[in-house]
Chain A
Amino acid sequence: MTMKKFLVYLTWFLVPLIIIAYVADVFISRYLPKQNDYAVGEFPVWSDLFGGRVNSDIVIYGNSRAWVQFDPNIISDSLTTTAYNLGIDGYGFDMQYLRHSILLQYNKKPKLIIQSVDVFTLEKRTDLYNDDQFLPYMLFNKEIKNVTQNYEIYNHWDYEIPLVRYYGKNTAIKAALRMLLFPSNNPVMRMNGYQGQDKEWNNDFDEAKRKIGSYKVKTDSALKRLFEKYLKECQRDHLNMIFVYAPVYIEGQKFISNGGEIIDQYKSYSKKYKIPFYDFSNDSISFQKNLFYNAMHLNKKGSVLFTNQLVKTLKDNHSLD
């Protein structure tokens, strides 16, 4: 009898909690993605992807070098078409492929994929960088689960039970509340995924060079396999693609001890899958320090210059035809 009473009371006690948890999840997941400057500004891109609002003829894939260097607005204005930058900060190709899969699931097929490739594209991260960016979208989402679950940040329950993933994420909860209470205080960070960086050269590179001298990139065999799978899928689905190796400051190129080998790898992919490869690593931009804010990233001025040059290349090569 007492056990029955215990279970009845426990159930009555838990029912409101479960309802509150579900409502709270819906609330946080609705308001959090509206915060443009949270999670390195990735929310607008994820929301556009899942909401079917990318729908562009040209899409740009890549990591932070795509995100801050390829201005889709210049591309769309110059080529009188639509363009969207899906570059994701801090990740190699596994996360780029996730965005590609979601794009095809929720948006129209692009006419051209500009695949930004660089020394870090095929390097695997050991941590789930900027993990908050997945929060509003990961519940019951198998694609996100498959890519993120091995990093030991989120466990099985985070993907399957409402609200659990927000446990301990008080900055995310506060951000959602902020959006509810002060929705106007929300500066736009990205324009169609792109975010130019109005920054001067900083000391990050000099510091890294002083500390470790040089860096050898370890490409990941699983990522290479995934990359080839992706190339084959694009071929099968008649998705046009070009590889672009964006400018990297020349000292930064020297800092990577096996940069040449990696570029050769992309050349071989280009040849094997008949994908045009536009290599800007030796372009004059790569020699102008004032166009970069660190060795790997162009500043806004540099990105505008580079995007214009890329547009010219696309036009010259009739890439959209």
Chain B
Amino acid sequence: MLFNTLNFAIFLLIVFFLYWFLTGKKLLVQNLILLVSSYSFYACWDWRFLFLLVFSTALDYFTGIKIQQSPSKKIKLAWLWTSILINVGFLGVFKYYNFFVKSFAGAIALFGLNVNPGTLQIILPVGISFYTFHGLSYIIDIYKGEIKAETNFVDYSVFVCFFPLLVAGPIERATHLLPQIKKPRVFDYGKAVDGLRQILWGLFKKVVIADQCANYVNIVFNSPSAYPGGAHLIGAVFFACQIYCDFSGYSDIALGTAKLFGIDLLRNFAYPFFSRSIAEFWRRWHISLSSWFKDYLYIPLGGSKVGTWKKIRNVFIIFLVSGFWHGANWTFIVWGALNALYIMPSILLKTHRDNINIVAEEKALPSVNELGSMLGTFGLTAFAFIFFRSPGIGFAIQYISNIFSGSWHSALSVIKPTSLAGLFLALILFFVIEWFGRKHQYAIAEIGVEWPKILRWGFYYCIITTIFVFAGSNQNFIYFQF
């Protein structure tokens, strides 16, 4: 059940009414409705994996309690590793088994030995990378003594399975989400309206920008040999825009949906394409994952408070693992490595904490320097995203070399020039709206709030009409595959 379908809208409507009208503000009933609806939502994808989800939830619930109850550190550690190994084991089998088997066979073949890689036809359970990380952060936090184990299974299950974040995040923390689940929610008009507005903007980003860019990107990436030069360059730029609007659009819908139930989720994107450096980009892109790796991997490894070589090692480890988290393909690892290389100078020069504030915070327009930095950062990330989008490393290298070959006018041969011009126009308009809304959680949060209702609603009707007219066939969200 995709967020951008009528089925989801109807599902949401039903759950919304059950949640606010049947519960009588009773916490247990509210949480039970959220849990049942979350399981139903998940079952719509593939009911067989519901058992895996329930098992994973029960495992972390149980080990969390065991860690807390254990008298000695050794036993706590044993329970912690039990949970980590089982969780990562599931992830390894479902997501990485074939990759490891094929890579092993490939490595052996280098020594002249041929083995038949016993790959399996494995379907990746939707959201496994996300809910596994939910569970891991929970038990690690208990082990570190930062939180207490949750003893109410329903509450804990809602924390793991809450349907807006179940299939593609944001990756929540128990410290943030569990306290909200433990309190009865009271309907908040402002929050609900804000949620609907955020859903609308998320849909716009996904349907109008991401899906339209995808039409172009798919043509170029599916038959790169047919389109030299400029088409590849525009394909790379459009893919960067596509993946941003696809994933941040999804996140906006998730956050907006949660608000309808009186719950705030962690912010996942903060206008990453207005970053002046790669370090800033990574503070603004997929924030819930970046901060997860920072807190549970980078800092335990010593972070940046170690010697130079260890610092370099740590940066590479988190970016390589982050790349690998995205998918079982060397392209993701190269994508991670490239980002590690990009960020390395700022780590070594200790400038990575620069640019904490919003770009041109009190000004309408950026300075030339700021604009240059933003364009440079965008260029680097768009380049790295070529590997993210490519099916293999050889393909990506060929794609990059194609950028520098042939006619730069060839971009016009991919889709109709009028469609290309329309897409550019839509992107410019989109980034202008994002620029003026960059101080807020999402770009249209404050647009029209002071306007007369008729104008404000007119603005929303325009967005709805644009979504309807421009809706394309690329309905899947990119991050659902992770």
Interface residues of A in 139-176 (CB under 8 A from B): 155, 157, 161, 163-164, 166-168, 170, 173
Assess whether B328 is interfacial by the CB under 8 Å rule.
no
Q: Give the residue among B187, B189, B468, B475 with the most A Cβ atoms within 10 A.
A: B468
Q: Give the residue among B188, B192, B472, B473 with the most A Cβ atoms within 10 A.
A: B192
CB distance from A138 to the nearest CB of B (A): 15
* B17: nearest chain-A partner, CB-CB: A7
Whether B7 and A16, one on each chain, are in contact in the complex, defined by CB atoms closer than 8 angstroms, is no
Report which of A6, A16, A161, A166 forms a contact with B193, defined as CB distance below 8 A. A6
Whether B461 and A2, one on each chain, are in contact in the complex, defined by CB atoms closer than 8 angstroms, is no
Whether B471 and A155, one on each chain, are in contact in the complex, defined by CB atoms closer than 8 angstroms, is no
Could you say which residues of chain B place their CB within 8 Å of the CB of A16? Answer: 461
Report which of A5, A6, A157, A170 forms a contact with B469, defined as CB distance below 8 A. A170
Assess whether A13 is interfacial by the CB under 8 Å rule.
yes
* B475: nearest chain-A partner, CB-CB: A168
Whether B20 and A17, one on each chain, are in contact in the complex, defined by CB atoms closer than 8 angstroms, is no
Whether B469 and A173, one on each chain, are in contact in the complex, defined by CB atoms closer than 8 angstroms, is yes
Q: How far is B200's CA from A17's CA once the two chains are assembled, in angstroms?
A: 14
Assess whether A3 is interfacial by the CB under 8 Å rule.
yes
Whether A17 and B6, one on each chain, are in contact in the complex, defined by CB atoms closer than 8 angstroms, is no
Report which of A2, A20, A161, A170 forms a contact with B188, defined as CB distance below 8 A. A2
Could you say which residues of chain A place their CB within 8 Å of the CB of B196? Answer: 10
Assess whether B457 is interfacial by the CB under 8 Å rule.
yes
CB distance from A16 to the nearest CB of B (A): 7
* A9: nearest chain-B partner, CB-CB: B193
Whether A2 and B187, one on each chain, are in contact in the complex, defined by CB atoms closer than 8 angstroms, is yes
Could you say which residues of chain B place their CB within 8 Å of the CB of A173? Answer: 469
Q: Binary interface profile of B, 177-188, with partner A (CB < 8 Å = 1, else 0)?
A: 000000000011
Whether B189 and A6, one on each chain, are in contact in the complex, defined by CB atoms closer than 8 angstroms, is yes
A2 and B189 in contact, given A17-B461, A17-B464, A164-B6 (Cβ under 8 angstroms): yes
Assess whether B45 is interfacial by the CB under 8 Å rule.
no
A168 and B189 in contact, given A13-B457, A16-B461, A157-B6 (Cβ under 8 angstroms): no
Interface residues of A in 1-48 (CB under 8 A from B): 2-3, 5-6, 9-10, 13, 16-17, 20
Q: How far is B451's CA from A231's CA once the two chains are assembled, in angstroms?
A: 67
Interface residues of B in 83-137 (CB under 8 A from A): none
Interface residues of B in 248-307 (CB under 8 A from A): none
Q: Binary interface profile of A, 162-193, with partner B (CB < 8 Å = 1, else 0)?
A: 01101110100100000000000000000000
A170 and B187 in contact, given A13-B457, A17-B464, A155-B7 (Cβ under 8 angstroms): no
Q: Give the residue among A161, A166, A168, A173 with the most B Cβ atoms within 10 A.
A: A168
CB distance from B419 to the nearest CB of A (A): 10
* B260: nearest chain-A partner, CB-CB: A6
Q: How far is B473's CA from A103's CA once the two chains are assembled, in angstroms?
A: 33
CB distance from A177 to the nearest CB of B (A): 10
Could you say which residues of chain B place their CB within 8 Å of the CB of A13? Answer: 457, 460
Could you say which residues of chain B place their CB within 8 Å of the CB of A161? Answer: 6
B interface, over-half SS: helix
Could you say which residues of chain A place their CB within 8 Å of the CB of B193? Answer: 6, 9
Q: How far is B471's CA from A164's CA once the two chains are assembled, in angstroms?
A: 11
Interface size class of B (residues with CB under 8 A): 20 to 34
Assess whether B153 is interfacial by the CB under 8 Å rule.
no
CB distance from A83 to the nearest CB of B (A): 39
Could you say which residues of chain B place their CB within 8 Å of the CB of A6? Answer: 187, 189, 192-193
* A170: nearest chain-B partner, CB-CB: B469
CB distance from B401 to the nearest CB of A (A): 31
Q: How far is B193's CA from A2's CA once the two chains are assembled, in angstroms?
A: 11
Assess whether B11 is interfacial by the CB under 8 Å rule.
no
CB distance from B217 to the nearest CB of A (A): 18
Whether A170 and B189, one on each chain, are in contact in the complex, defined by CB atoms closer than 8 angstroms, is no
* A174: nearest chain-B partner, CB-CB: B469
Q: How far is B416's CA from A170's CA once the two chains are assembled, in angstroms?
A: 15
Q: How far is B189's CA from A2's CA once the two chains are assembled, in angstroms?
A: 5
Q: How far is B188's CA from A170's CA once the two chains are assembled, in angstroms?
A: 37
Assess whether B470 is interfacial by the CB under 8 Å rule.
yes
Whether B461 and A168, one on each chain, are in contact in the complex, defined by CB atoms closer than 8 angstroms, is no
Whether A3 and B471, one on each chain, are in contact in the complex, defined by CB atoms closer than 8 angstroms, is no
A3 and B461 in contact, given A167-B468, A170-B470, A173-B469 (Cβ under 8 angstroms): no
Q: Give the residue among A10, A17, A164 with the most B Cβ atoms within 10 A.
A: A17
Whether B7 and A168, one on each chain, are in contact in the complex, defined by CB atoms closer than 8 angstroms, is no
Q: How far is B197's CA from A6's CA once the two chains are assembled, in angstroms?
A: 13
CB distance from B417 to the nearest CB of A (A): 16
CB distance from B398 to the nearest CB of A (A): 26
* B7: nearest chain-A partner, CB-CB: A155
Whether A170 and B20, one on each chain, are in contact in the complex, defined by CB atoms closer than 8 angstroms, is no
Could you say which residues of chain A place their CB within 8 Å of the CB of B189? Answer: 2-3, 5-6
Could you say which residues of chain A place their CB within 8 Å of the CB of B475? Answer: 168
CB distance from B415 to the nearest CB of A (A): 13
Interface residues of B in 162-205 (CB under 8 A from A): 187-189, 192-193, 196
Q: How far is B196's CA from A85's CA once the two chains are assembled, in angstroms?
A: 51
Could you say which residues of chain B place their CB within 8 Å of the CB of A17? Answer: 461, 464
Whether A168 and B471, one on each chain, are in contact in the complex, defined by CB atoms closer than 8 angstroms, is yes
Q: How far is B471's CA from A173's CA once the two chains are assembled, in angstroms?
A: 11
CB distance from A135 to the nearest CB of B (A): 14
Q: How far is B467's CA from A173's CA once the two chains are assembled, in angstroms?
A: 13
* B189: nearest chain-A partner, CB-CB: A2
Interface residues of B in 306-336 (CB under 8 A from A): none
Report which of A155, A163, A164, A168 forms a contact with B473, defined as CB distance below 8 A. A168
Could you say which residues of chain B place their CB within 8 Å of the CB of A2? Answer: 187-189
Whether A170 and B471, one on each chain, are in contact in the complex, defined by CB atoms closer than 8 angstroms, is yes
Q: Give the residue among A9, A157, A166, A167 with the most B Cβ atoms within 10 A.
A: A167
Q: Binary interface profile of B, 15-26, with partner A (CB < 8 Å = 1, else 0)?
A: 000001000000
A167 and B20 in contact, given A2-B187, A6-B192 (Cβ under 8 angstroms): no
Could you say which residues of chain A place their CB within 8 Å of the CB of B464? Answer: 17
Could you say which residues of chain A place their CB within 8 Å of the CB of B187? Answer: 2-3, 6
Interface residues of B in 427-482 (CB under 8 A from A): 457, 460-461, 464, 468-473, 475
Q: How far is B203's CA from A167's CA once the two chains are assembled, in angstroms?
A: 13
Q: How far is B6's CA from A155's CA once the two chains are assembled, in angstroms?
A: 10
Q: How far is B189's CA from A6's CA once the two chains are assembled, in angstroms?
A: 6
Q: How far is B470's CA from A163's CA once the two chains are assembled, in angstroms?
A: 14
Q: How far is B197's CA from A9's CA once the two chains are assembled, in angstroms?
A: 13
CB distance from A170 to the nearest CB of B (A): 6
Q: How far is B189's CA from A3's CA once the two chains are assembled, in angstroms?
A: 7
Could you say which residues of chain A place their CB within 8 Å of the CB of B473? Answer: 168
Interface residues of A in 231-258 (CB under 8 A from B): none
A3 and B20 in contact, given A16-B461, A17-B464, A157-B6 (Cβ under 8 angstroms): yes
11 residue pairs A–B, Cβ–Cβ below 8 Å: A6-B187, A13-B457, A16-B461, A17-B461, A155-B6, A157-B7, A157-B10, A163-B468, A166-B468, A170-B469, A170-B472
Given contacts A2-B189, A168-B473, 9 further A-B contacts (CB under 8 A): A3-B187, A3-B189, A6-B189, A6-B193, A13-B457, A16-B461, A17-B461, A155-B6, A167-B6
> Which residues of B line the A interface, CB within 8 A?
6-7, 10, 20, 187-189, 192-193, 196, 457, 460-461, 464, 468-473, 475
Q: Sorted from nearest, which 9 A-B pairs have the closest CB atoms?
A: A2-B189, A168-B471, A3-B187, A157-B6, A167-B471, A6-B189, A6-B192, A170-B469, A2-B187
